Structure 1
Amino acid sequence: MRILRKMADMAANAKFRIKLLVSYFLLVSFIILALGFAYYQISARNMLANVKESLGNVVINNNQLLDEKLQYIRDKSEMLPIDNELYQVITETDVADNESLLKADRRITQILFKYFGGDTDIYASFILTPPYNFGNTARMFVMPEAFYASSLYRKAVAGKGDLVWVPTYRFAETLGEKEMSGLDFEFSKLVSAVKQLNLTFIDDKGIFHALPQTMQKPVLMINLTPDYVGRLFADYARQSEFRHLSYGILDDGGAVIIDSDPGRGASEGPPSWMGEAKAMKYGSIQKIIDEKKMVISFSRMESTGWISYIEIPVKDALQDLNALRRYSTFFLILMLVVSILLAYGMSVFITKPISRMKKAMKLMERGNFHIHISEQGRDEFGHLIRTFNHMNDRIQTLIEENYASRLREKDAELMALNLQLNPHFLYNTLTTLYWIAIENNQKEMSLIIHHLADMLQTSTRNKKETWPLRTDLDWLNKYIYIMSSRFEELFRVQMDVEEGLMDREVPKLFLQPFVENAIIHGFAEKEQGGVIEIKGWSDGEMVFFTVADNGRGIEKEQIDQLRSGKIGSTGMLNVEKRIKLLYGSQYGLEVHSNKGSGTTIVIRMGTFPGKQDKTEVQ
């Protein structure tokens, strides 16, 4: 008790910095240790899941490859019952004549080679009849009497013409060769496929023939070694990084077909997880086998129904966690050291509100009043920040009110400029109608008036200073049609405007004055052959338009007088003033022309300035 009381007194009398350091250290230590433990458990679970997935993929891929090979054998065996040559050989062979049997054996051997000779993994293949075993007997020989008395024949009959796979069996014991049971030879254990052949034949006249009722159906027997079935798993086991990996293949009843552990046999019975594997068909499970936690990944083969599996101890699956444990310990120690150093940096947190206000003031000094300092806490600094934000909002309101007043002045000036343009155009349009009425009959007048009505309707409905470029070009095309009707064959217009600009906002009727100038002034000395080219394109945030003609051109002195206002040009000056008011003084018009070589007007515009988002100062 005295020790605890003494420690409490020391804690009460310690400096605030020491209290802060100790409390921060204890808090961070607890968090780091808890996170380290959780990280280790999550890593172990994820690593085990990855191993299960990896082993499962290996088993499934190996089964698919093996299924393809076994399916190839099945597909070839399906062709034998309808092989006309085999039918003729079997039915025409005289079983009492040795020479006839030998000839039949050579022909059937050739037939078997035609179907199965290309697969080097097939150990041997036969077609057995009670009197004779046809096929290549160089590697092994099966006595017909022993075969027809064995379980192999009974399974072939039970298959009713289907190919039946028979798991590994001892050759001598299954075929009744007891005197050979003590011998060890190459094919002592085999995997076989047997099929009773329901031979048929269709002659040249299309008549279907089956084997005579008195003739016993022959049986196809294909023999494979267990190595053929388990080779893929053996290769994976040799290359695997897991030291205690084992594998095997079981038939549907749990009998062992192959097993990487020679010490385990059929006497042990089916494994404890066999029932789950048959129900799941494929997947991974975790079981305790011989007091060891084991991971078993398995998959059922489609062609045979056998179950192949790979199993490893959980300890092997998590072997990489040893290195992770060392790295985690080093990381935890490093974090504890860093946490002590960070305790001395707490003063930075105290001065953080002042730093945020300093940053906001610098932004205001640069003219950015759309700022807001996030408000945190109810202490003195929080009150100071709220007062600063309130002051900044008031300044922003005053600026916006002043800006709105200036905008209203701009709108008034823009409206006045627009009013200058509309009477000028209406006057020219009425003149055009007058000349059309004189020079042409009334037939074309209705179309011109229709275009004029559309133009006036579009202009009067849109009260804004701008509209989409698509609308402006539509309006301009109607204007060009009216002018073309007046000045027949005098000019033609070519347009090349980027499609991406069609929905962009532009000043109303900003191209019309230049087209009108080209027609009225540029082509004044022409009777035909006038060309007006209108182009539009974008370059980043800049938008360019050109109106070029091949008219008589303008001298440089006259251009200067137009720009200075000494020579009146209501349309050109109107458009330039509107562009500068809308986009800024850096935008506007350029006139390029020489006497006798045409005129090109270049129009430069930008984008409308949008409302600034409020900057959040953290």
Structure 2
Amino acid sequence: MKNRANTYKKLRVQIAFHYILASGLTLLLMAGILYASISSILLSESAKSTKSSVNQSGMYLDLYIDRLNAVSSLLAENPQLVSYLSDSVRAHAVKNDLLKTIDTTLASDEFIKSIIIVSKDGQILSNESGLTMSKSTNMMQETWYRAAIMNGGQAFLTSARMQDFTMDKDTWVISISREITDESGGNRGVLLIDLDYEVIEDYLANLDLGKDGFSFILNENQEVVYHEDPSYFQNDDKKHQLQAIVDDQAGYDSKENTLTYTHSLKNADWLLVSVSSQDSLLAIKQQLFEIFVWVGIALLLVAATSVYVFAGRITAPFQKLEQAMQDIETGLKEIPIDAKGCYEAQSLTRHFNTMTHKIDKLMAEIKEKEKHLRTSEISALHSQINPHFLYNTLDTIVWMAEFGDHEKVIDLTKALASFFRLSLSGGSELTTVEKELEHVERYLFIQKERYGDKLQYDIHLDDALRDIEIPKLIVQPIVENALYHGIRGLSTQGVIDIYATSEGEDLFLTVHDNGDGFNVEDINGREDKKTTKLGGVGIRNVDERIKLYYGEEYGVHVYSSETKGTTVRIQLASSLR
């Protein structure tokens, strides 16, 4: 989880994230604006197309109705017809001529189903036979007759022709009624021209109103004149729905995805209403949306790829700086300045390189100072060790001289001379494992002369370790401590064993005695006992010198328990740093 959080904080990720976010928002905004603009244009064009189509269909209906008005006018104003209806005795020859005129008119228009002339006294002249309309000797008493006179030549769906109304549209008619008058304006009859209901469907057939679109016609009395679904003529709820569409006025309904447009016919009291289902507009919008989505994804992929490369070029110098900082423990390295990198990265690299040069210089100065300091410290430690050992050794020689044992004094003095010769090592701070153990052997020889059979020692050296260089005078103080604090108080013979061994990459010099031993835990935290048991200055100086040469992980380790003796292990590296 922590690694994931660190990943989000990386400069490259931050640049990529904000770039892609900004690109995505920009694309989204542009796509939204384009989508809204194009949708608006498409809607406007669709509205224009629908308006043009409805107006054209309405114009055709107007022209047809105007033609029918002209036909009805010619028939109603025919002098022969007016004379025929005015005469109380009507000639059969004239009637035949008028029927021929009716037949000629029927032949001129396939949608005219019948022509009916009704006189004021109830006489009928028509191409149809067996008419069932209500009539009497005084037609002014008939409601439909009076309505025809009042409406003049306007088109309407006559109640007379709807008395036997069925759902079969093949039997429906639209009637043009016109009053027939004489020269003085007196009523002589009514002319009815019945049109096949399908004439309206024929003229509205070219309207492209979409999958769920429809059109209808209402007259000035809010009655349904035309609808492709016959149930709208009898179902009051559906009639109210049509009226609600008209009342809502024309416009686009985004919820229903419909476009409503109305057209008032000039030659009739009809209102043509078209409700266009914008299926094509919806399909185009959907297609447009998909195009924007895919184009947006493609552009985002391009943006992501470009920002990956771009951000990589920006962050590469910083990554090099980061790596150089992480590798600072292994050594300061100068970072080459990328000529193609940004100014900030170049400037930061220059400052880093300047810093590394200064640090290198400071580290060199510190190393030189540390070298002098370590030399001074080691010399001071030597000065502490040598007087201490010399005091103990001279005390032994004095003791032997007091007893007049001159030969032993000579042997001891020679051993002491050899001891100091090995100690000096030609002025070098280092010696080999072999010479260090020889130096210890000289020391134990001197002590053996003093302690006699009370002291026994043995030195074990692996031939492979003889020539390894180590700091000098690190084993003798340990042996001295084993002698004075482990062996000297024994009532039995004391034994000191010295081993030079290797474990892995480390070298171990081990000193073991069979002295009384002590509980290490008892002296922890008590400096007085610790100084006494661990040999005071000697062992502490050896431990400090080893740490100066090899580091804090190396040094002297003491293992002891009461009655079981003490083991001191000196841990060194196989090579000096």
Q: TM-score range by the shorter chain?
A: 0.3 to 0.5
Question: Which TM-score applies when normalising by structure 1?
Answer: 0.44
Counting helix residues as a fraction of each chain, which structure ranks higher? 2
TM-score by length of 2: 0.46
Structure number with larger C-alpha Rg:
2
